Amino acid sequence: MNFASSNPFELEIEPSNPFLDNDNLEDVSEPPTPQPIPESSDEHVDIEGSEISADRVSYEVISKQLIKDGFVLTALELHTELQEIGKPVAYLRDHFSNPGNFERTKPSDNLSTSPQVGLQRSGSIQTFDSLDWARYSDDGDRQAEERVAGLEFELRRAQDTIKSLRKALTIATENSGTPKENSEQTSASTDTAEQSRETIKPHEKRAINFLVNEYLLIHDYKLSSVTFAEENENQDFENWDDVGLNISKPPDLLHLYLDYGKHVVPVIDSCDASTNDDFYQNELIELQKSLEDSQTTVTQRVDELTALNLANESLNTNIEMLNLQINSLQDKLESAEQSLAAAKSHPQRVLQADSTDHVDSGQESSTPGGHQLYTYKSVDRNIPSLFLTRILSMSFHVPEDNRIAKQVSLIDSSKTSTIVDMISQSLPHIVPNVLLAKREELLPLILCAANLHVSAKARDTMLNTLFNLIKRPDELQRQMILAGCVMFAQHNGPEKVEEELLPQCWEQINDRHLERRLLVAEACGALIPYISKSIRGSLLLSMLQQMLLDERVEEVRSAIVRSLGILVCFIDDTDKFSQVLTLYGRHVLPDTSAGVQKEAVGVLLPSLSLWAVHLDKISDIMDLLFTALQNSLTEPNEENEIKVIAESFMPGMQHLLTLVNFQFVSLLYSGPYRDKTDLTTDNQPTSFHSSINDGSNSMSSISCLVSDEEEYKQLVSRFLSHTSEEWYKSWDQFDLLVYTTFSRFAMLGLSIQAEDMAIAQSLVNYVRSVCAVLGHHITSDKIEPKMSEFFKLDSEITSQHYKVYTSVLLPMLLCGVKAAFSSQSAVSNLIDCLRKFIVTMSEGSVPLQSLELSVQILMEKSHLVEPFIDLVLEVLMKGSVKVKVTCAHLLEICLLCPTCSTLINDRILPGLVTLACDTDYNVKLATVSPFGSILETCSERETMDKVYTELIRLLHHTNQNQDNNMLLSMISTFSRIGPNIEPQFREEVVISQLARWSMENNSCGDTNLRKAVALALIDAYCALYCCFISTSITQDSFLPGLKSLQLDLKELGLEGGAVIGSMVSEIQHKLEGASASPSRVSEGTTPATSSPSTEHLAKSSKSLMNKIMDKSASTKMSSFFSKRK
């Protein structure tokens, strides 16, 4: 059956974009036909009946002629250029400022017989930008440019008009508010006040309305504020600019009221005046140019002054450096004079002084004082601080109580050069003479010299000594060396780290000792924050990649993967994402080493996923992991069965489970509800947020991925509100997680049979995690119906549907989707679904392995145990024979749950007793194994006595000639429970029955049945052989049963005869040593001569069971099974 074609998760084709429909496009009428332009004479131009000579003509005359002849675009270009050079023409400005010139046409007086010269009205929009100027021009290629020029001009005119209107309104408001009368006029009469209120201006009304609404909100008159806003719905009370004044918002009403009586309105004399704008316009332009030139000059002078100050500071610094060098040279001169004076008496000191001078000559001239403490280099990406702190903590760990580590961290960079020289010269001679176990004591001195020395050569020597100090450093020693490297990086900055410290790491990459290579891998991770961005994404990434490809030791590979995860968090180059993803998919994900997978899940994958969230490429990681899962499945065999390679499948599922929170964060922060403010955020379920924010310390927890917790909570509330609506708009990340992901996993689960508990559990955990983060509404509305469509519960099950019911898809639906939430409604829905599956699969004779596996996973949830047991007890009372058999198997699975111990005596055992008393043989047979499981798990005396009674009743009705399945089931159960039950029941019932069946099997005429019973008895006797058995039972029952089994194996030619023979020999040897009678049991004798007869053993067993089943003996059952004292 091809299930791919019936995948319910396939998305429907999206409807066409409504924004591309032709109905939404407005019909634009054809532009007017261009009018013919009158021809001008060669000598003169006739302008309004006057004749103009060939002398210079004014711009205004040219403008009028252009407008008259219909050269509107040419006039517009002329007007624009004149404005740019500061010589506008009033006629053109007035013409283009009046929209009426473009809304109507006028016939020409001079050209009455010619077509109209004016512009025709546009059919769509009555504005200047609607004209099609290309039809008036011979150059059709410039149509787009001319239209853009027209639109830009219209836009500038509209903006200028808005600004001028707002400015005029503001000036008018200020002028109207200026008092023109003296203080006596402020106390106007009531009539005058009423008249002024009646003549209030619109902008004044809007300003007062704004202040009144603000007053109502501040003083908690919310209902009044809402009513007031509804009555003034044409005004925006949240934006002061909506009032229309170019002034800042005035104080609130209370402030105006309190401040009103503190001012006296002054009397201002005013007079009317007017100016000629055209007369002063040129002068104003010249003044503006002069002001700009002055400002440019001032800026240049300020820059020159700043440069001089910097040069002065640099010279002062050089003077200080020279003074220090002079002092140092004077000290060297005095030392040389002293050495020269002592040369005759101590010639060796002269050689030592020469050697010292030679070393000093190679030092740099800078002083070690005033070092700056460098911190790690930040990145341009928005990485949460908690995530960054935790990933940096993965680089190295030093115990707080370590003395050497404290000395390393307390090194001061202000020591004098004399001490540093002494330390750097002495350390190379001291290190070889120190014991290997104590060389870490020299770390503070080495790091002090490497950090404070001014000579690059000396620092290189110290750093080389640091990395080669210990031949094979252990974990604690490596952490102390890494602490020293970090200290060096903090004090010296990225340049010295890249030039001096990293080369020391490169030299150790191919060292033959894995501890050295491990130190290099860990050092790369610890030094990443202190390396420049260019080196991180190029050299350091290539270095870690090559180490990962060449390394064969798991421990070193684990450290490389951890450092690679830290490096990914500090890479800003987005082009490197594909390179890192390829490295992760080809060399990290297929690695089945436990250490590598631990670091990949804990460090590399969270860092890579967070980067993918920022780049909106989380789907790339998802595709890579799903491809790895598909590669973990084998090709179908002859029986069309697909096997799972667990070694590669389980790590892939662990990586997918780590990716869930990153998928949800990507979905949450990309939803269409982010900018909406009308969504309800009250009364949201708090359990949703707590279920995904579990307080885990891992870097994949939600609390570690979110920078602003309050923003995250608001987005969760908006997400729930948005998705709880009846019709809501989905988005790409939503479709990827809800439809694409579940569609893929549904088909994957359909191809895997429910055989391995670990594989099924991993798939269930992923589905349950995704449903938990999406919420109950999306799960029940989108996911659950699609998953349920795979199962045809309402129709009869055919052999073609067996694959669906026996696959892992059933546990994914029951345990992953329906059991994802613990609410009462969710539990009720799950119980109803289980009832349908129990009845349907039982009546359809479908193998129950997937259902039993689902119940086993569900029993891990304590709140589901009791409702499920009640369901089974309800079904077995009303179901058919097949349903009752299924219920017996499900009750046995419940016994494996630790929380069922209190329910065995009250719920489970009564149900099994009811089934054991059923008239159908198959129902009785199904209760044998559950009774044995109770004896293994229960320790209550009353419960065990009831089980013993039921087992003996079943043994009494067992007949080998009719109940072959019952016989094999009893032997298998005794083989399983024999070593774990009470010794009295084991000796008097189990061993005796096994001996009886073994002897009766010698005379069985059915060869196949005889083989099956013999093989089952082998397992039973091997399990009981190591138990303590009394001598009498061993001699009377256990040894005769073994001999009968040995005879069957010999006659049937089955394997295991040698094992049974050795057991018989050993038991006989023990009995001979413990017995004092002269009669010995010979090894070569037959069972008939060395043991009681079969008839005698059968009669004794029957008499024992009759005695137990007797009513008079049943009252003493508890005392019969009591332990011997």
Which pLDDT band, with edges at 50, 70 and 90, does 155 fall under? confident
pLDDT band at residue 775 under the 50/70/90 scheme: confident
Angle between helices 605-615 and 554-568 (to 10 degrees): 30
- Inter-residue contact 1021 to 994 (CB < 8 Å): yes
pLDDT band at 677 (very low <50, low <70, confident <90, very high): low
| Least confident segment among 343-347, 448-452, 848-852 | 343-347
CB neighbours of 906 closer than 8 A, spacing ≥ 6? none
Rg of the chain in Å (alpha carbons):
48
Q: 28-37, 412-421, 516-525: lowest mean pLDDT where? A: 28-37
| CA 438 to the chain's CA centroid | 45
Mean pLDDT across the chain, nearest whole number? 75
Tens of pLDDT along 957-1009? 665 445 678 888 888 888 888 888 888 888 888 888 889 888 988 888 888 88
Average pLDDT over residues 103-129: 43
SS3 608: helix
Tens digit of each residue's pLDDT (9 = 90 or more) over 548-577: 998 999 999 999 999 999 999 999 888 999
pLDDT at 180 over 70: no
pLDDT of residue 272: 55
CA distance 31 to 43: 35
848: part of which helix (H) or strand (E)? none
Within 453-532, residue ranges assigned H as helices are 456-467, 475-496, 502-507, 514-527
Average pLDDT in the 279-295 region? 74
Question: Distance between CA 812 and CA 787 in Å, rounded?
Answer: 9
Q: What is the pLDDT of residues 4-22, one digit of tens each?
A: 444 555 444 333 333 334 3
The neighbouring-strand residues paired with 50 are 47
CB atoms inside a 10 Å sphere around CB 161 = 11
Lowest model confidence (mean pLDDT) among 98-107, 113-122, 556-565: 113-122
pLDDT at residue 636, as a whole number: 80
Q: How sure is the predictor about 339, in pLDDT bands with cuts at 50, 70 and 90?
A: low
pLDDT > 50? residue 737: yes
Give the pLDDT score at 378: 59
Between 398 and 582, name the one with better pLDDT: 582
Q: What is the pLDDT of residue 183?
A: 42
pLDDT of 940 strictly over 50:
yes
pLDDT of residue 202: 80
Pairwise CA distance, residues 522 & 561, whole Å: 10
Residues 136/73, Cβ–Cβ less than 8 Å:
yes
Q: What pLDDT shows up at residue 271?
A: 54
If we measure between CA atoms, which residue out of 118, 117, 116, 127 comes closest to residue 28? Answer: 127
Strand partners, 46: 51
Which region among 283-297, 805-819, 898-912 has the lowest average model confidence (pLDDT)? 283-297
Task: Please provide the DSSP assignment of 620-689 as one string.
Answer: HHHHHHHHHHHHTBPPP-TT----B-HHHHHHHHHHHHHHHHHHHHHHHTTSTTTT---S--SS--HHHH
Q: What's the rounded mean pLDDT across residues 641-657?
A: 90
Q: Is the pLDDT of residue 883 over 70?
A: yes
Least confident of 410-419, 602-611, 780-789, 1115-1124: 1115-1124
pTM over 0.95: no
Q: Rounding to the nearest 10 degrees, give the CA dihedral for residues 1070, 1038, 1083, 1099.
A: 130
Highest mean pLDDT among 215-219, 685-689, 1112-1116: 215-219
CB within 8 Å of 865: residues ≥ 6 apart? 859, 894, 897, 899, 900, 903
Sign of CA dihedral 1026, 1032, 1034, 1037: negative
Alpha-carbon dihedral sign for residues 148, 150, 156, 162: negative
Percent of the chain predicted with pLDDT > 90: 16
pLDDT of residue 318: 74
More confident residue, 488 or 339: 488
pLDDT of residue 212: 92
Whether residue 1071 contacts residue 1039, with contact meaning beta carbons closer than 8 Å, is answered with yes
CB 705 within 8 A of CB 610: yes
pLDDT attached to residue 1120:
32
Q: What is the pLDDT of residue 374?
A: 61
Which residue has better confidence, 1054 or 794? Answer: 1054
Q: Output the CA–CA distances (angstroms, integers) from residue 884 to 918, 949, 966, in the order listed.
A: 10, 21, 17
> What's the confidence (pLDDT) of residue 713?
84
Residues 996, 625: Cα–Cα separation, whole Å: 58
Distance between CA atoms of residues 1046 and 1052, nearest Å: 10
pLDDT of res. 401: 67
Better pLDDT: 278 or 56: 56
Q: Which residue has the higher pLDDT, 306 or 103?
A: 306
Length of the chain: 1125
Q: What mean pLDDT comes out for the span 608-632?
A: 92
As given in the structure block, the two tokens for residue 512 are 């033959």
The string of DSSP letters for 1046-1115 reads: HHHHHHHT-TTHHHHHHHHHHHHHHHHHH--SS----TTS-HHHHS--HHHHHHHHHHHHHHHHSHHHHT
| The pLDDT value given to residue 101 | 76
Going by the DSSP 8-state scheme, the letter that residue 800 receives in this structure is G
For 688, residues 6+ apart whose C-beta sits below 8 A from its C-beta are 716, 720, 775
Which pairs from 1072-1081 meet CB under 8 Å and 24+ separation? 1074/1031, 1081/1039
Give the end-to-end CA distance of the chain in Å, rounded to a whole number. 65
Residues 334, 340, 341, 347, Cα dihedral to 10° = 140
Distance, in Å, from the CA atom of 212 to the CA atom of 408, rounded to the nearest integer, reads 67
Distance separating alpha carbons of residues 90 and 58, to the nearest angstrom: 12
pLDDT value, residue 192: 45
Q: What is the mean pLDDT of residues 742-771?
A: 91
Banded pLDDT at 897 (limits 50, 70, 90): confident
Residue 899 has pLDDT above 60, yes or no: yes
- The answer to whether residues 673 and 721 touch, using CB atoms and an 8 Å cutoff, is yes
Map tokens 């170019």 to a residue: 246
* Alpha carbon distances (Å) from 176 to 162, 170, 198, 200: 21, 10, 16, 11
Place of tokens 């790895």: 628
Contact 828, 842 (CB under 8 A): no
Quote the pLDDT of residue 657: 92
pLDDT recorded at residue 963: 62
Instruction: Calculate mean pLDDT across residues 640-661.
Output: 89
* Residue 210, both tokens: 């704004």
